[in-house]
């Protein structure tokens, strides 16, 4: 049984009420998504705005209805009658959560806890534990209308994990958080993994995905561009090497040009530089650095960041792609 399973999941939106348009063009927000997530995985869902990430999450939670295809959570079809009961085992944080502003944080958690079937002492204990975990104990009695965006994000996360769900679906969980808040959320996600929960989250903050995810999927214009472990994504640029060296007395741009290392990048730490070269350029580059009294610190295979993969132009030859293509245009 997969924690999340999509089979040819497609969602089209009607063009709106435009009777003067004879041929109505339907917008395809998601196009034949095939995806499987194993229990216990931390799975990242990446894509630019409008790629179809939120549409997918809404389909998985039954908030919108698919045009075709099927989605299952924890083995249960989402849009079947039993899908409602299955949601007891699922937690969800919407993107930019907006909650009832007349409630306090504590009241909101109690309300959602009741809807999930928690009651009495268990409910109270869970509410207090989650408020404590998310650093909201003191703000628990303040009305949500007075919460900052980061605090709303935290209380949203608290309600998503309040009932101890097996599967946690988070839509942009780091959005609106300061660095400290992001670190706390990362720790919570890792704690959920330690408890063998499945976490499926969408994000456009790629460093978070790099730090957290066992596997990621990239969605582009409603189509799955690829899915796989991060190591598969990042190990694609075979042959390229990254050199990091120190130049004790610094290095001017002119000097780098002279060394034929014009593309080198100065690192934040004073006197350190980095350059990525092909294997044929490796030895001449090392010789040039040594000749300029540079100290070689590191030479390693270049691994493109997710940014590089994410913003790369689609490759015409799919077989040369870093991971197996699950759908093609």
Partner 1 sequence: MNERTLGAGKIMAAIAGNSFREAIRDRWLLSLAGFAVLMAGAALLFTQMSFGIAAGALINFSLAAITFLGALMAVLLGNQLVAKEIERRTAYALLAHPVRRRELVLGKFAGLLLALTVNTGLMGLALLAALSWLQGGWHSGEGAVLAALYCVWLELALLTAVSLFFSSFASIGLAAVFSLSLFLIGNFNGELRGLGAAARPGPGRWLPRLVADALPNFGGLNLTTTASHYLPVSARLLGWNSLYVLLYGAAMLILSAVIFEFRDLK
Q: Which of 102, 132, 183, 301 binds partner 1 (CB under 8 A)?
A: 102
Contact between 188 and 132 under an 8 Å Cβ cutoff? The reply is no
- Binding of partner 1 at residue 45 (CB under 8 A)? no
Size of the site for partner 1 (CB under 8 A): 37
- Binding of partner 1 at residue 125 (CB under 8 A)? no
Q: Which is nearer to partner 1, 48 or 96 (CB)?
A: 96
Long-range Cβ contact pairs of 250-253 (< 8 A, separation 24 or more): 251/292, 251/294
- Quick one: CA torsion of 313, 315, 321, 324, rounded to 10 degrees? 100
Selected range binding partner 1 among 39-47, 60-68, 178-186, 299-307, rule: CB under 8 A:
60-68
The Cα-based distances of 299 to 138, 150, 283, 303 in angstroms read 50, 40, 11, 12
Which are the contacts of 269, defined by CB distance < 8 A and separation ≥ 6? none
- Binding of partner 1 at residue 117 (CB under 8 A)? yes
Least Cβ distance, residue 63 to partner 1 (angstroms): 4
Least Cβ distance, residue 70 to partner 1 (angstroms): 17
- Binding of partner 1 at residue 222 (CB under 8 A)? no
- Binding of partner 1 at residue 318 (CB under 8 A)? no
Q: Which of 69, 111, 204, 246 binds partner 1 (CB under 8 A)?
A: 111
**Angle, CA of 196, 95 and 118, to the nearest 5°:** 50
Q: Which is nearer to partner 1, 64 or 323 (CB)?
A: 64
Q: How far apart are CA 280 and CA 28, in angstroms?
A: 45
Q: Which of 24, 25, 84, 270 binds partner 1 (CB under 8 A)?
A: 84
Q: Which of 27, 38, 79, 100 binds partner 1 (CB under 8 A)?
A: 100
- Binding of partner 1 at residue 82 (CB under 8 A)? no
Q: Which residue has the tokens 């004790």?
A: 248
Least Cβ distance, residue 149 to partner 1 (angstroms): 14
- Binding of partner 1 at residue 65 (CB under 8 A)? yes
In 41-82, the DSSP E strands lie at 42-46, 68-73, 76-77
Question: For residue 280, how many C-alpha atoms fall within 13 Å in the half-sphere facing its CB?
Answer: 0
Segment holding 108, helix H or strand E: helix 105-115
**Please, where are the H alpha helices in 134-242?**
149-161, 179-194, 206-212, 230-234
Q: Which is nearer to partner 1, 78 or 206 (CB)?
A: 78
Selected range binding partner 1 among 36-44, 45-53, 80-88, 222-230, rule: CB under 8 A:
80-88
Q: How far apart are CA 89 and CA 225, in angstroms?
A: 29
- Binding of partner 1 at residue 106 (CB under 8 A)? no
Segment holding 28, helix H or strand E: strand 27-37
Q: Which is nearer to partner 1, 28 or 325 (CB)?
A: 28
Which are the contacts of 236, defined by CB distance < 8 A and separation ≥ 6? 304, 309, 321, 322
- Binding of partner 1 at residue 92 (CB under 8 A)? yes
- Binding of partner 1 at residue 99 (CB under 8 A)? yes
Q: How far apart are CA 275 and CA 281, in angstroms?
A: 11
Selected range binding partner 1 among 45-53, 83-91, 257-265, 304-312, rule: CB under 8 A:
83-91
By CB under 8 A, name the binding residues for partner 1: 13, 58, 61-65, 84-88, 90-94, 96-100, 102-103, 111-112, 114-119, 122, 156, 159, 163, 169
């Amino acid at each position: 049984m997969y924690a999340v399973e999509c089979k040819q999941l497609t969602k089209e939106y009607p063009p709106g009420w435009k009777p003067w348009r004879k041929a109505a063009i339907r917008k395809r927000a998601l196009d034949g998504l095939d995806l499987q997530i194993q229990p216990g995985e931390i799975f990242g869902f990446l894509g630019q705005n409008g790629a179809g990430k939120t549409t997918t999450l809404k389909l998985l939670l039954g908030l919108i209805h698919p045009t075709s295809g099927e989605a299952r959570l924890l083995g249960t079809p989402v849009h079947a009658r039993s899908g409602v009961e299955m949601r007891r085992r699922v937690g969800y944080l919407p993107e930019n959560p907006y909650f009832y502003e007349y409630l306090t944080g504590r009241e909101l958690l109690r309300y959602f806890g009741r809807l999930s079937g928690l009651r009495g002492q268990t409910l109270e204990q869970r509410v207090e534990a989650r408020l404590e975990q998310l650093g909201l104990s003191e703000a628990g009695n303040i009305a949500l209308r007075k919460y900052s965006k980061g605090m709303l994000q935290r209380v949203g996360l608290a309600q998503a994990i309040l009932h101890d769900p097996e599967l946690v679906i988070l839509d942009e969980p780091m959005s609106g958080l300061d660095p400290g808040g992001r670190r706390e959320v990362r720790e919570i996600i890792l704690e959920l993994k330690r408890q063998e929960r499945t976490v499926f989250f969408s994000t456009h903050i790629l460093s978070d995905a790099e730090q957290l995810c066992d596997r990621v999927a990239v969605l582009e214009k409603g189509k799955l561009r690829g899915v796989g472990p991060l190591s598969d994504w990042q190990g694609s640029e075979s042959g390229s090497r990254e050199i990091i060296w120190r130049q004790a007395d610094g290095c001017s741009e002119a000097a780098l040009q002279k060394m034929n290392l014009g593309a080198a990048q100065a690192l934040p730490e004073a006197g350190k530089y980095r350059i990525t070269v092909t294997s044929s350029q490796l030895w001449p580059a090392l010789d040039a650095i040594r000749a300029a009294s540079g100290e070689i610190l590191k030479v390693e295979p270049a691994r493109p960041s997710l940014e590089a993969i994410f913003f790369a132009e689609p490759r015409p030859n799919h077989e040369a792609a870093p991971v197996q293509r699950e759908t093609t245009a």
